[in-house]
Structure formats: structure tokens, C-alpha cells
């Protein structure tokens, strides 16, 4: 799928504040700093679209980006940033959960996990909660450029096996790098296939 046009369509804290024009939404979630905003920029080939930072906790609102005048990429705040105040974390958690629970236009949630690390309890808890709520999700391992091929393969295998302790089968899993564009075509094709089922 070609992204011909990608424009910022607004920031919100609640579903009732999101852009008035309703279109299918594909949202990105994961621990703070995992690379959500960078991946959205990579998909759109525009480094200035979503704001990124090497300091965790950059995205604090729900940001909608209108793609090809017909669907949205949604950049969500990250969860689990330990250094943020308890009230700050509670606020982000409220924003995230309200969006996930109430956004009827959300077709799929991409859950991002850092390809370099073991899956953490907070990620497992989050994934399990999605399962319980029946929210459709896919997994994207990010920052794959940061490891050698052999280290990457080992870690992904370990993480897959860890997830398989909880699920009989895994959802769609992607490997990505916002630096090299790895995974970009696959993720966009996957979105395209879902959009095609809607029309
Ligand atoms: P919050 O908004 O704070 O929740 O973070 P985020 O998940 O949106 O992360 P963001 O995209 O801001 O990226 C965090 C840091 O990781 C930035 O310094 C990015 O440049 C870096 N980064 C993100 N993706 C990649 C990647 O694929 N490869 C490499 N090498 N660095 C990445
Ligand atoms: Mg961000």
C-alpha cells in the first residue's frame, strides 16, 4: 500500500475529543520509549510527523494521523515509565484504557515490544488484559537494527516461546526497524488487507 498523504489530525485525551471525521483506526501501544512514534513516522516516511524523543514519556496524548484521507494511524502514550510520577502514570493509563475500551473505530492494536529484551511482566499483563477484553491485536518487535542477526533471532525465539506459555497460538508478529524500514511493507500490507475487508 502506498501512503500518499499523511497529516496530523488532532490530539485528544478522550474518545469524545477525537477527530470528528470517523475512519478506521490502527493504533500503536507499548512501553514508553519502545518506538511507537518513530514507527508511525517510518510507515509514513516522514520523520517530523509524530514527535519522538530519546527520553521516555514523550507522547502524552492520543494523536491521530489521517492517512490517504481515509484511515488513521493512532499514536498512543506509552505505559510503564517508572520515573514518571504516580499520578502522571495513572493519567496516561486512564487515557490509554479509555481509548482501547471505547474507540469503536479501532480495527487493530499494534502492541510494540523491544526486540532486544525479554518480555516484561507489564507487557504480559497488558497483553493478557487485551485477550480478556477481546481486543484484536498484533505484535511488533521494534529496534531490530540494534542487534546482530543471530542475537536478534535468539531473542525473538525466546520471546515467542515466552508468549506461547500464555497463548496456544500467537497473533500476527512483525519485526521492525524505524532506522532501516524493516517491516514497513509487511505492516502496511497487513493494514491494507484489513481495510479491504471493510469495503
Ligand atoms: P513515548 O512517546 O515516550 O511513549 O515513546 P515512543 O514509544 O513513541 O518512542 P519514540 O518513537 O519516541 O522512540 C524512542 C527512542 O528510540 C528515540 O530516541 C528513537 O530515535 C529510538 N528508536 C525508535 N525506534 C527505533 C529503531 O527502530 N531503531 C533505533 N536504532 N532506534 C529507534
Ligand atoms: Mg511517542
Cα atoms in the Cβ-side hemisphere of radius 13 Å centred on 17: 11
Whole-Å CA distances, 192 to 15, 60, 98, 189: 24, 28, 26, 5
By C-alpha distance, which of 94, 16, 97, 85 is closest to 57?
Answer: 85
pLDDT number for residue 81: 83
Give the residues of the chain that fall short of pLDDT 70: none
Q: What is the pLDDT of residue 83?
A: 84
pLDDT, tens digit (0-9, with 9 covering 90-100), for 84-96: 888 988 999 999 9
Smallest CA separation from ligand 1 atom 2, residue:
59
pTM as predicted: 0.97
Q: Which DSSP state fits 58?
A: -
Is 37 a pocket residue for ligand 1 (Cβ < 6 Å)? Answer: yes
Atom of ligand 1 nearest to the CA of 112: 7
User: Residue 199 has what pLDDT?
Assistant: 76
pLDDT of residue 103: 94
Q: Where are the domains of the chain?
A: 6-198
Quote the ligand 2 centre to 199 CA distance (angstroms): 31
Per-residue model confidence (pLDDT) at position 1: 87
Q: How far does the centroid of ligand 2 lie from the alpha carbon of residue 164, in Å? A: 28
Find out if CATH 3.30.413.10 is the number for domain 6-198.
Answer: no
- Whole-number pLDDT of residue 36: 96
What's the confidence (pLDDT) of residue 129?
95
From CA 42, how far away is CA 37, in angstroms rounded? 9
CA of 74 from ligand 2 middle (Å) equals 10
Amino acid at each position: 500500500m502506498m501512503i500518499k498523504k499523511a497529516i496530523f489530525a488532532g490530539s485528544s485525551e478522550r474518545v469524545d475529543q477525537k477527530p470528528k471525521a470517523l475512519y478506521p483506526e490502527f493504533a500503536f501501544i507499548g512501553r514508553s520509549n519502545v518506538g511507537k512514534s518513530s514507527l508511525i513516522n517510518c510507515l509514513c516516511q516522514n520523520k517530523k510527523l509524530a514527535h519522538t524523543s530519546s527520553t521516555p514519556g514523550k507522547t502524552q496524548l492520543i494523536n491521530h494521523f489521517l492517512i490517504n484521507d481515509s484511515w488513521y494511524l493512532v499514536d498512543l502514550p506509552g505505559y510503564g515509565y517508572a520515573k514518571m510520577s504516580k499520578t502522571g502514570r495513572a493519567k496516561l493509563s486512564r487515557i490509554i484504557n479509555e481509548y482501547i475500551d471505547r474507540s469503536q473505530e479501532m480495527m487493530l492494536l499494534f502492541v510494540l515490544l523491544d526486540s532486544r529484551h525479554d518480555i516484561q511482566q507489564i507487557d504480559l499483563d497488558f497483553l493478557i488484559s487485551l485477550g480478556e477484553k477481546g481486543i484484536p491485536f498484533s505484535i511488533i518487535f521494534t529496534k531490530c537494527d540494534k542487534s546482530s542477526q543471530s542475537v536478534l533471532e535468539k531473542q525473538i525465539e525466546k520471546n515467542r516461546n515466552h508468549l506461547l506459555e500464555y497463548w496456544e497460538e500467537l497473533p500476527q508478529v512483525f519485526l521492525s526497524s524505524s532506522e532501516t524500514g524493516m517491516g514497513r511493507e509487511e505492516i502496511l500490507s497487513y493494514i491494507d488487507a484489513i481495510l479491504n475487508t471493510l469495503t
